[in-house]
Chains A and B, each alone.
Chain A
Amino acid sequence: MSIVEISFVVEMMGELLHYVPVTLALAGGALLLAVVIGIAGSLMEQWGPYWLRRILAVYVLLGRAVPTMIMLYLVYFGLPLLLLALREEYGVTIIGMEKVPAFILALLALTLHTGAYLIKVFDSAFLSVDKGQLEAGLATGLSVWQSYRQIIFPQAFLYAIPLLGNQFLGLIKATSIVFVISVVEILGAAKVACAGSYRYLETYLAAALIYWGFSIVFEYLFIRAEKYWGYYRRGSEQLC
């Protein structure tokens, strides 16, 4: 008998692959929501009133300072209390607030955590767009919003793509700790499997292989996305 039984690893991978949708839904969902927070937050930092900018600064600071796992706990234990308090104090009732699924809470915690980073990511993306681009838009008779929509957003987004890719790979790994609030994804499923089989190495190796697979696939996809979105940067080499 060899140290690592390959066939068991393969078998384990087959089982763990069932949890890929959970991991992807968490990471993908959190990234999409965090992108909204990131863009909106970054714009409000630039254009918003002073008090809002202060609140955002606190959020960015705290959101990035807290370990993801603590953020999970804070949301998992804190949000239901907050909702209860809202009902007691103000009579606000939200349907389903009695038992919010752990998956939703995990998604929320990852979103809050990632959103704080993405505000910074979009700050740098917006800063990377030459300010002459906005001036040219305005001078051409466009409003600020039209200039952003037509010129600034498409260019800023391109600068953000590699950073979003980074963040997404980080998120995929971060999903592996949502097991602490009882959401079962790839690593959670691996742990459960170990408890029955006692074959720790093979099981975790199977999980690792899946994460490696993710990393390879998504790194490639983000590079493709950057090439695709950067259509207007192509072709300069033909000129020389």
Chain B
Amino acid sequence: MLMSVRHVSKKFAGVEVLKDVNLDVDKGDVVVVIGPSGSGKTTFLRCLDFLETADSGHLDFDNLHFDFHAADKKKIVALRKKTAFVFQNYNLFANKTALENVTLGLTVGRGIDKDEAEKLGRQALRKVGLLDKADYYPNQLSGGQQQRVGIARAIAVKPGVILFDEPTSALDPQLVGEVLLVMKQLAAEGITMIVVTHEMKFAQEAASKVVFMADGRVIEEGTPQEIFLTPKKERTKDFLKSVMPIEYGDPAILI
């Protein structure tokens, strides 16, 4: 077990947004978390990287143990050095070039020397097909390109797991494909990923495990086949009907 998350709960101003959420992630897993807006998926993901502080629960990751509400700052930094996060609105460092965005975590974050970091950085950019944009600033890149740089920034540090927070939600429809393509490629390479998304096709095609969340709870989890073809809970069925009225119930499209 690479990562085990237990009993995560969190309130925002008295409102329970996460209620006893559990998750197990094995090495090489592609866990796709789906669910309606406001279901707590993003908050849950952000708690895993301590971008939000959960009120209770604990996390085991790669021999590190954390109590969410009382985690040591140094250990949090250690955790973040073993993980990477891809943001909904990219959050590329605006004052750094694409290459610098990718290398900053290596040089400043992890003390790798500049030449080595640039080599790794260029490899990562090549992987997302943006080596020719290495010296561009985020401002000069399209949304899809920015998100691919965001992914390059994540893979360059060779993390144990990459957390994706709705990586395509801010993109124009025609730019979504290029980002999903890169993510599928990473999934195929066996990189461990936890992906919060509304892209049902991605969940069907790339997930090893699909988690359906609603109202701050995990309602149901299983393989893509289990969730999309034979969902057990009414809540799951309702959600799937609403997001994919055509595909749902038509196995031919899936298989």
Q: Let me know if B177 is at the binding interface, CB within 8 A.
A: no
Decide: A140 and B104 in contact? CB cutoff 8 A: yes
Could you tell me which residues of chain B, from 11 to 61, have a CB within 8 Å of some CB in chain A? 49, 51
Decide: B87 and A150 in contact? CB cutoff 8 A: no
Decide: A235 and B95 in contact? CB cutoff 8 A: no
Interface size of B by CB at 8 A reads 29
The interface residues of chain B lying within 8 Å CB-to-CB of A238 are 140
Decide: A146 and B139 in contact? CB cutoff 8 A: no
Segment of B2-10, B78-86, B196-204, B223-231 in the binding face: B78-86
Decide: A138 and B94 in contact? CB cutoff 8 A: no
Decide: A150 and B91 in contact? CB cutoff 8 A: no
Total A-B pairs, Cβ < 8 A: 79
Alpha-carbon distance A132/B142, docked complex (angstroms): 18
The interface residues of chain A lying within 8 Å CB-to-CB of B93 are 133, 136-137, 150-151
Decide: B80 and A138 in contact? CB cutoff 8 A: yes
Q: Let me know if B246 is at the binding interface, CB within 8 A.
A: no
Could you tell me which residues of chain A, from 193 to 240, have a CB within 8 Å of some CB in chain B? 232-236, 238-239
Interface string of B108-132 (1 = CB under 8 A from A): 1110000000000000000000000
Task: Decide yes or no: A130 and B77 within 8 Å by CB, A135-B51, A140-B84, A141-B110 being known contacts.
Answer: no
Q: Let me know if A111 is at the binding interface, CB within 8 A.
A: no
A interface SS class: helix
Nearest residue, chain B, Cβ from A236: B139
Alpha-carbon distance A150/B153, docked complex (angstroms): 16
Decide: B77 and A132 in contact? CB cutoff 8 A: no
Alpha-carbon distance A133/B87, docked complex (angstroms): 10
Interface size of A by CB at 8 A reads 24
Alpha-carbon distance A139/B105, docked complex (angstroms): 9
Q: Let me know if A81 is at the binding interface, CB within 8 A.
A: no
Q: Let me know if B157 is at the binding interface, CB within 8 A.
A: yes
Decide: A239 and B77 in contact? CB cutoff 8 A: no
The interface residues of chain B lying within 8 Å CB-to-CB of A139 are 49, 51, 80, 83-85, 87
Nearest residue, chain B, Cβ from A239: B140
The interface residues of chain B lying within 8 Å CB-to-CB of A143 are 77
Decide: B139 and A235 in contact? CB cutoff 8 A: yes
Chain B residues engaging chain A, CB cutoff 8 angstroms: 49, 51, 77, 80-81, 83-85, 87, 89, 91-96, 104-105, 108-110, 136-140, 142, 153, 157
13 A-B pairs within 8 Å (CB atoms) are namely: A130-B91, A133-B93, A135-B51, A135-B87, A139-B80, A139-B85, A141-B110, A146-B109, A154-B95, A232-B138, A235-B137, A235-B140, A239-B140
